[in-house]
Structure 1
Amino acid sequence: MSKLLKYPGFTPLPPFTDAANVTENIQNWINKGMEHKLRNYCRPDNSGIGYRFVNERDFLETIEEEQIILRRKVKIVFTRYVERRDYSFCPLYFSTRMITAEIHYNGKVHPYKNDNQLKIFLRTN
């Protein structure tokens, strides 16, 4: 974690579920009107049942912010990457794998690695 960057709040990932990622579960949720399950774990598509299970790309999220770092106004692009773990007891389990940050300043882009490199980048530009 950085002492210079203020990380944004990303949208929450869906809670753990013991539901297997099989089409029978989607059909069951549709038949029983379980909209919260469909909203959390499925996305509309053009298949026969009209839904598919979510995947890592569905939770890839990018947030752009302006922050002041070392008295310089910079634009930062934060990207959250999500990992899906297929556990037998929790087939639809998503967690944040990593958050990357790109700092845009004076027309140059710096991929954030650590605070020291960020300080050097800002002082030399």
Structure 2
Amino acid sequence: MRFLLFVLLFLSFAYSLGLVLANNTEIGVNLLFSQAPTMNLGLLLILCLILGVVIGILLALLIFRVLQNKWEISRLQKANANLQEQLTQANIVIDRQANAPTVEEAVYGATATNVHEDAAHNLDTNSTLTKKKRDY
């Protein structure tokens, strides 16, 4: 990998040097708001090339980050929808279990529940009476 990088750097340096030597005409550059001093055309081409590469890399990173954020948002939305579906299924199961008959109701019928409720009501009434008696 390092060897490949070294070869690419050497080739780009050799290309830049050849570009500067082949285009040795002096030209002036108008920057719309100011005038740059005259410079070698090859050097100007290299500067423009480097500037274009740097701007291109920065824009590519920015676009990649935007796309990466969009991918992350869509992944999280899918996960959210999946969790919402699991929550709905869990609530359905809880409702079924809450409305399912107890063992006593299944074995003895609905009258067993009424007997237990009456006994619990009487127990609550007696405990409140005894508590009132103790308070006096």
TM-score range, shorter chain: under 0.3
Q: Determine which structure has more spread, i.e. the larger CA radius of gyration.
A: 2
TM-score of the aligned structures, taking structure 2 as reference length: 0.18
Answer 1 or 2: higher relative contact order, Cα 8 Å, separation at least 6: 1
Could you say which structure has the higher strand fraction?
1
TM-score of the aligned structures, taking structure 1 as reference length: 0.19
